[in-house]
Amino acid sequence: MPADGVLVGEHFINGDVACAEGAIAAGCRFFAGYPITPATEIAERMSERLPKVGGVFIQMEDEIASMNAILGGSWAGVKSMTATSGPGFSLMMENLGLGLMLETPCVIANVQRGGPSTGLPTLVGQADMMQARWGSHGVYEIIALSATSPQELFDITITAFNLSEKYRTPVLIMTDEAVGHMTERVVIPPAEAIHLYPRRKPALPPGEFKPYAPDADLVPPMPVAGQGYRFHVTGLTHDERGYPSAIAATQVTQVQRLIDKIRRNVDDIIILEEDGVEDAEVIVISYGISARVALLPVQQARAEGRKVGMIKLVTVWPFPEKRIRELAGHARTFIVPEINAGQIALEVERCAGGKTRTVLVPHMGGDIIHPEEILHAIREG
């Protein structure tokens, strides 16, 4: 076992295991979670691997406690993660808001399944995307990534940890059962080939440091509990010292900064994969397993002589508003396949502003969208 814990080489593993290996490669050394289909394999893999690399795995009593535990682990100076699916994700929402307010770097993977409620525990869904954006209360911004393969799930898990450290915020991985349980080749590079963003430590001594005084990029350095820095950690609106401040002026300053540190850096955060969009008359916009399914109908439509482009959303939140607006009016139709009754399609329609027609290809979950449905929408577009 390498000292850094990275299992270098080619592996034939499923997406959940790839996610866990991505977390290990990113330096995650604490995982707290509760078993839930179809995310349990992430926890199982972490329970096996973390003790071998000097980390800690804890099975918590529920998802509420799991989310709390990883916030505490992060404040103790350890990269921390949890994983869940729809019902557990709902339970995590309150403490997700706590993590946002405390500016606590951590990663939460949601392996989506069919819902609502208990729904279809072993079958695919993509209906938690708006919950990812708006599930907690209050005003905030969130970062959420999606993958179409086990290899991408390995890669974006590392990206999620880097973004969480860079912007001092919880980051979501919104994968799905199909990708999570899909078994394919995953190439894990050596540790020296993996770029990791280090946690930003205070430059000032304990007596002068204010835990919520931001640097020029609006992100504050983060001390480690127990290393001499005195700070107050609270979900209440707080000043730069971390002390509660129940006045409107502090709320405006504090929350606006939480929003701006993401919004001002969207060009750095947003990752898109585009193919043939510049002269396309129809553009397919999708994410996760639905984007993978869309590859075949896009190829078939091109073989028929149609001008079809495709955008795969690796970053779903923040939503790539600027790029969609740039393309609106140039393409005739945006087609959005997703395993729900319409969530990201509404964002595409909003950004299109009536300049380009938006067509949803919906599916209620349980299985993936059939490629013929997408091809039919392209032909009609």
Is the Cβ–Cβ distance between 343 and 299 less than 8 Å? no
- Nearest-angstrom CA–CA distance, 164 and 167: 6
What confidence tens digit (pLDDT) does each residue in 128-185 have?
999 999 999 999 999 999 999 999 999 999 999 999 999 999 999 999 999 999 999 9
Could you count the other beta carbons within 10 Å of the beta carbon of residue 11?
A: 18
Q: Residue 224 to residues 58, 60, 99, 123: CA-CA distances in angstroms?
A: 21, 23, 16, 40
Residue 275 forms beta bridges with which residues?
Answer: 310
Is the Cβ–Cβ distance between 25 and 159 less than 8 Å? no
Is the Cβ–Cβ distance between 245 and 339 less than 8 Å? no
Give me the domains of the chain, ranges plus CATH numbers.
9-191 (3.40.50.970), 274-380 (3.40.50.920)
Is the Cβ–Cβ distance between 240 and 212 less than 8 Å? yes
* Residue 5: per-residue pLDDT: 87
Is the Cβ–Cβ distance between 21 and 186 less than 8 Å? yes
Locate 323 and state its tokens.
């790029």
Indicate if the pLDDT at residue 226 is higher than 90. no
What confidence tens digit (pLDDT) does each residue in 192-215 have?
999 999 999 999 999 899 999 999
Could you count the other beta carbons within 10 Å of the beta carbon of residue 186?
A: 24
Task: Report if pTM > 0.95.
Answer: yes
Q: Which residues contact 161 (CB under 8 A, 6 or more apart)?
A: 23, 26, 27, 28, 79, 81, 105, 107, 171, 196, 197
What confidence tens digit (pLDDT) does each residue in 259-302 have?
999 999 999 999 999 999 999 999 999 999 999 999 999 999 99
What confidence tens digit (pLDDT) does each residue in 322-355 have?
999 999 999 999 999 999 999 999 999 999 999 9
Residue 1's pLDDT band, with cuts at 50, 70 and 90, is low
Helix ranges restricted to H, 135-201: 150-167, 177-181
**Start-to-end CA span in the chain (Å):** 53
What are residue 265's phi and psi, to 5 degrees?
A: -120, 25
Order of strands, sheet of 308-313, starting from the edge strand that comes earlier in the sequence? 272-275, 308-313, 282-286, 333-338, 357-362
Q: Among candidates 242, 97, 84, which has minimal Cα distance to 175? A: 84
Q: How big is the CA angle at 51 (ends 45 and 52), to the nearest 5 degrees? A: 90
- Nearest-angstrom CA–CA distance, 341 and 18: 29
Residue 230's pLDDT band, with cuts at 50, 70 and 90, is confident
**Per 3-state DSSP, what percentage of the chain is helix, strand, and coil (rounded to 5)?**
40, 20, 40
Residue 51's pLDDT band, with cuts at 50, 70 and 90, is very high
- Nearest-angstrom CA–CA distance, 30 and 108: 12
